[in-house]
Amino acid sequence: MSGLADWPPGRRNMIRYAFLHPAARTVFTDWDRVARNSVAHLHTAEQTAPERTAALVAELSAASGEFAALWLRHDVWVKRGGETAFHHPALGPLTLTNEVLNTADHSQRVLLYQAAPGTAEHDALVLLAMTAQDTGTS
């Protein structure tokens, strides 16, 4: 995600990126859907990590009117997987499948993006990985 590595590791997360990073609206082809899904899923995290969620909600609400409006809708759902369309600055459009993995206590989640072997998206990810290795970036 373009620009995410510019932030300190402790501040890197998907919802903060979606609402606060200027590149997010270009990176996510369907930013509105990503934003709605992210906020709805954050409502589920509120049940298992209320203090940490409250701090993130306060930060995002203060910085983004769009986040604040979505938060007040109280949409709640658990994301298990799906597809996300991206626009990569060098590779162009990519649609990747995703899967959500939660820690046993549900205090953290990891969102994995992947592409089926033999697809153009898979080839693009391989190229991206090779480029990152060559430049020492990730």
Instruction: Name the range with the highest mean pLDDT among 7-16, 38-47, 63-72, 105-114.
Output: 63-72
The pLDDT-based confidence of 20 (bands split at 50, 70, 90) is very high
Q: How far is CA 101 from the centre of its chain?
A: 13
| Contact between 38 and 18 (Cβ < 8 Å) | yes
CA torsion through residues 7, 64, 1, 47, sign: positive
Q: Is the pLDDT of residue 52 over 80?
A: yes
What local confidence, expressed as pLDDT, does residue 83 receive? 87
Q: Where are the domains of the chain?
A: 4-135
Q: Three-state DSSP class for 128?
A: helix
C-alpha 52/C-alpha 136 separation (Å) is 33
| Contact between 21 and 4 (Cβ < 8 Å) | yes
Report residue 134 as tokens.
């060559």
Percent of the chain with pLDDT over 90: 36
- The pTM of the full predicted model, rounded to 2 decimals, is 0.77
User: Tell me: the pLDDT tens digits for 82-121?
Assistant: 888 888 888 888 889 988 887 777 667 788 889 999 998 9
Percent of the chain with pLDDT over 70: 93
Q: Is the pLDDT of residue 47 over 90?
A: no
The pLDDT-based confidence of 55 (bands split at 50, 70, 90) is very high
